[in-house]
Amino acid sequence: MNDRVSGMIVASEQGLRRRSGKLRDTHINLAHGSGGKAMRDLIEDVFLGAFDNPVLAAMEDQAVFSLADLARNGDRLAFTTDTFVVDPLFFPGGDIGTLAVAGTVNDLAMSGAIPLYLSCGMVLEEGLSVEVLRRVVASMQRTAQLAGVTIVTGDTKVVERGAADKLFINTAGVGVVPKDVAISARNARVGDVVIINGYLGDHGTAILMARNQLGVECNVESDCQPLGSLVAAMLAACPDIHCLRDATRGGVATVLNEFAESSNVAIRIKESALPIREEVKGACEILGLDPLYLANEGKLLAIVPAAQADRVLAAMRAHPAGKHSEIIGEVTKEPAGVVVLHTGFGGQRIVDMLVGEQLPRIC
């Protein structure tokens, strides 16, 4: 009761008014998850301050939006969720906050949806620096703005030291799929063309290097970026995009296998056409990794009708998230369900699904 009086309502010369919470602690403690004043201060100071929008500011237990407004964008809802546990929290090219927004936005965008609203659930470990949390939240806001989405609802839990590792984030997202867009992993057709929007394996390499356990140095930044507006540009160029998926964990190889299997076709890719940075190639050579399996956080694979390929490619290259787009392969009939790599050396080999874990806690 005392808390309530001193924290939320203060008597001052101006009279009785609600004081906006100010977080004075430098580190998170269990009280910040208790539902009391400390939690209120944390939410108001760190989250509301950064995410700053009327839906969130209403501080209700849920976000409410008008169906009519949603329906102006399309005729179906897309809904997705993803949880982020990346280690380390900060890495060249991004942090867990950029990932948490871009990851969910991209999952929505891969259906052709226009991403609109995100939720933000946080699990904080006791002892986490508030400064770290502020930086992560600022990245989330920056990325949300870039992606054109609003973070409209959230939740925060604090667990004892050791019960979680620093900071985990869950985001769920809602988007609207425009009428007549029908993208599915089942839609690849013989003769279609496979396009990627840039360099493979940057995120996986950046995380590996940021962990600094290997005694290898290279300056690669994560490709972490929202892809909603790129997808919109691609759909404007060709509404009939057959398949679309972002190549995150498991990399390009995994997504192509999913396409081949779902559509019961063969996908043939050409090693010499794969855009891979020299630094990533070098790191992979030294560490025995295959860039086809390295994680990305801002790369999509599109399967489009051959007749439209040039139009789509041009639209992609004109967009900042697709400057280095390349056609990397094609869809054939046989061997159905299989991805075949035509090696730069002149041989062919199967590119299978990843077995086991190449690297844990990559996103």
Closer to another protein by Cβ: residue 28 or 274: 274
Q: Least separation, in Å, of the C-beta of 250 and another protein?
A: 14
Closer to another protein by Cβ: residue 36 or 344: 344
Cα 218 to Cα 7: distance, rounded to the nearest angstrom:
49
Q: Least separation, in Å, of the C-beta of 351 and another protein?
A: 8
134 contacts 26 by C-beta, under 8 angstroms: no
Q: Least separation, in Å, of the C-beta of 170 and another protein?
A: 24
User: What's the start-to-end Cα distance of the chain, in Å?
Assistant: 41
Please give the DSSP secondary-structure letter assigned to residue 4.
I
Helix, strand, coil percent values for the chain (each to nearest 5): 35, 25, 40
Closer to another protein by Cβ: residue 29 or 358: 358
Closer to another protein by Cβ: residue 49 or 282: 282
161 token code pair: 């030291």
Q: Least separation, in Å, of the C-beta of 94 and another protein?
A: 25
Q: Least separation, in Å, of the C-beta of 269 and another protein?
A: 8
Cα 328 to Cα 97: distance, rounded to the nearest angstrom:
31
193 token code pair: 């063309």
Cα 269 to Cα 279: distance, rounded to the nearest angstrom:
22
Please give the DSSP secondary-structure letter assigned to residue 47.
I
CA 355, 173, 226 angle in degrees (round to 5)?
70
Closer to another protein by Cβ: residue 144 or 266: 266
Closer to another protein by Cβ: residue 120 or 328: 328
Q: Among 279, 295, 276, which residue's Cα sits nearest to residue 287?
A: 279
Cα 242 to Cα 328: distance, rounded to the nearest angstrom:
16
Binding stretches for another protein (CB under 8 A): 213-215, 268, 270, 273, 278, 281-282, 285, 288, 329-330, 332, 334-335, 338, 340, 342-350, 352, 355-356
What sign results for the dihedral spanned by CA atoms 348, 352, 358, 361? positive
44 token code pair: 């108001």
Q: Least separation, in Å, of the C-beta of 340 and another protein?
A: 7
Q: Least separation, in Å, of the C-beta of 87 and another protein?
A: 14
Closer to another protein by Cβ: residue 9 or 214: 214
Phi, psi of 195, rounded to the nearest 5 degrees: -125, 140
Q: Least separation, in Å, of the C-beta of 278 and another protein?
A: 6
Closer to another protein by Cβ: residue 59 or 216: 216
